[in-house]
Chains A and B, each alone.
Chain A
Amino acid sequence: MTQLMDPPDISTSTDAPQKLHGIIAEFETVNDTVRAAKKTKAEGFKHWDVHSPFPIHGIDAAIGIRPTILPWIVLICGLTGTIVGISLAVGTMATDSIDLPGLPGAAAPIRGYKFLISGKPFNSFPAFIPVIFETTILLSAFGAVFGMLLLNRLPKLANPLLKSMNFRRSTADRFFIEVEARDRRFDKDKTAEFLKGLGATSVELIED
């Protein structure tokens, strides 16, 4: 392997004993990786992942990734947006006053504007639909983006895997299976042996 830039030497920067993060196993081909992933899944590991330079068809099934709950987050955010939009439009355009005694600073009732627009009734639902539509879309989009970040625990400023020199090839020409130490079935030696047995070209311990 050609020499890449050395990773910053953070492993020795503290005196405290290093906690084990997990084990990565390196594979050379897609087929080896998919086969190994299926066996890892069959072994019963829960906290593990596959790293690949490009999307692999069928890898989701091989890893056994369960459907994400993100759609539900988006749905709830979208419905919230609908309610916000209706309240905003009706509250400002078609209400005399809203009395909110419970809220601090709302001693005086909030007054609706009741603008007369082209002679339409104040409570004109067709005119409100664009507002309701936009708030629904806005909050759905927020729900999708921020929900995705939350579920992926992003932004993450550092990942222990990046300490591995070898792991950098996961963005170029190598495939890795990572088993995390927090997995209940994880055992430093046995898991390393298991991964080697799957045909890994190298197995490496990663410390936090």
Chain B
Amino acid sequence: MAHHHEPVLKDDDKRRLGAGARSFGLTAVVVGIVALIVAVVVAMIGGGGWERFGFAYVINYSYFLSITLGALFLVLVTHLFRAGWVVAVRRIPEVMAANMPVMAVLFIPILLYIFLGHGVLYPWAGASVDDEGHAYIQPRHAEIVTVANESDHDGHTDDDDAAHEDGHDGEIGHDSDETHESDTVHGFTPADHGGDVIAAREANHEALQHHLVPIKSAYLNTGFFTARWIIYLAIWSGLGLYYLKTSTAQESGNGVKLTRKMEVLSAPGTLVFAITFTFAAFDLLMSLDPVWFSTMWGVYHFIGSALATVCTVMLALMVLQRSGYLPSVNVEHYHDLGKLMFMFVFFWGYIAFSQFMLIWYGNLAEETYWFEMRGITTQAGNPFNAGWTVVAWVLLFGHLLIPFLGLLSRWIKRSRPLLAFWAIWLLAMHWINQWWVVMPNYSSPDIPLPTVELLCLVGIGGIAVGTTVLRATRQGLIPAGDPRLGDSLGHVNMY
């Protein structure tokens, strides 16, 4: 430090969140719970039922889980690199990561889908063992198939949504009669010629499922899945709580020693984080379609996660500073967060493209259909070249090219209004990305109006944000006991 005076904390830096924040947190939680109930009702009335709600829940659970885990990553990796600049703003990601136990509770509905859902959400969870000891997939929702069949006889026209779901049953007919019957009730019979293509894809997908799901059943089964998630959630909760607790404990002395401890744990912590995150991404999002596989899946979601966290931390800081908290956080800290944001924007594009290009070049049927269902196809007249194609283009420009150019210059990374704009923009893009990843498993090529999905966004978001704010009121907003706080307060970006 070349400064002759070590910067000191102002009184307002140590100010804690007050009653206003507590009532905001409680309100958000209540709003969240109400929104989730409304989402269930809308799903039941508007068509789609529990299946639709399940997909909407997974989109938004993965969205907020990714932000929570990104916060844990930010804490771990800045300790790993012994980053001085981050100390003044580190309490925000610490609190966000310490909210992991709430995210663990919010995982329970997904477990219910695994155990009680007959595979409506995760087709492999509906797998059974046949007489010869081979696993096979039960019809995804035999009841709906029957109902649709009856109503067809009655000359009743199903609404679009219900007809849609029917096409999604992962029915594997051992019995030829059964196969025939299920074919006739498939919802995928649009009037245009695209219906043939869609039906062919469906048949191909069922055949692939029939072949691949038994092979993967050693990994994708309810028992092992539950065991894995108990381990992930325990590790993440443990790390999140440990870092917040230790960082808070520094305020009553022993700052240097505790920083050393946190740094030592960060190395194995980062390693364990990387492994658990990768497998969690496989479990939560990739196994929604048990046929498809991509080894870049973990990195792809990790980057989206870290990016969304940087945006969230930035917005949280701005909100706090507007209310007079953390006056010592200055443009230098925003600049560094902005650099991270810019880096993750480009890294996301790099990984997303690499994942796409390898599958596109490899041209294997069990991989390429995943992109086709998400609207990425060059075949003229392909019925999948429809709604999701627009979303894919939105992601290419909105998640990569436009923010890349928009964050390129140094002065932008030092301007709070512009950073706020890009943070909100990228958080929206991250949601669209999760939606684009998950929802085509429920419906493709058509996009269902995202009503249930957005209600779940408010629902899980209200609970996650509300509980995080409540947790934030329990300690100061700056790691006042960290020995590198002075470094961080006097931090200057040369470039």
Contacts and interface: CB of A to CB of B under 8 A. Distances in A.
Given A30-B2, A31-B4, A129-B353, A55 B494 contact: yes
Contacts of B490: 57
- Interface SS majority for chain B: loop
A127 B492 contact: no
A155 interface: no
Contacts of A54: 2
B81 interface: no
Nearest to B492: A57
A102 interface: no
Interface in A90-139: 118-121, 126-127, 129-130
Contacts of A57: 1-3, 490, 492
Contact of B363 (A55, A58, A119): A119
A151 to B, nearest CB: 15
A56 interface: yes
Interface string B408-435: 0110000000000000000000000000
Contact of B356 (A31, A67, A126): A126
Give the interface residue-count category, chain A. 10 to 19
Contact of A127 (B2, B361, B409): B361
B2 A58 contact: yes
Contacts of A126: 353, 356-357, 360-361
A54 B3 CA distance: 13
Contacts of A127: 357, 361
A12 B494 CA distance: 42
Contacts of B409: 71
A56 B2 contact: yes
Interface residues of B, number: 16
Interface string B468-495: 0000000000000000000000101010
Nearest to B411: A67
Given A118-B361, A129-B353, A129-B357, A58 B492 contact: yes
A30 B490 CA distance: 16
Contacts of A31: 4
Contact of A118 (B357, B363, B378, B494): B363
B360 to A, nearest CB: 5
Interface in B396-455: 409-410
A202 B2 CA distance: 23
A31 B361 CA distance: 61
Nearest to A52: B2
Contacts of B2: 30, 54-58
A83 to B, nearest CB: 17
Interface in A40-86: 54-58, 60, 67, 71
Nearest to B3: A57
B279 to A, nearest CB: 29
B481 to A, nearest CB: 24
A120 B379 CA distance: 12
Top 6 A-B residue pairs of the complex, sorted by shortest distance between their CB atoms: A57-B2, A56-B2, A126-B357, A57-B492, A126-B360, A30-B2
Interface of A: 30-31, 54-58, 60, 67, 71, 118-121, 126-127, 129-130
Given A126-B353, A126-B361, A129-B357, 7 more contacts: A55-B494, A57-B490, A60-B494, A67-B410, A71-B410, A121-B378, A126-B360
28 contacts: A30-B4, A31-B4, A54-B2, A55-B2, A56-B2, A57-B1, A57-B2, A57-B3, A57-B490, A57-B492, A58-B2, A58-B3, A58-B492, A60-B494, A67-B410, A71-B409, A118-B361, A119-B363, A120-B361, A126-B353, A126-B356, A126-B357, A126-B360, A126-B361, A127-B357, A127-B361, A129-B357, A130-B357
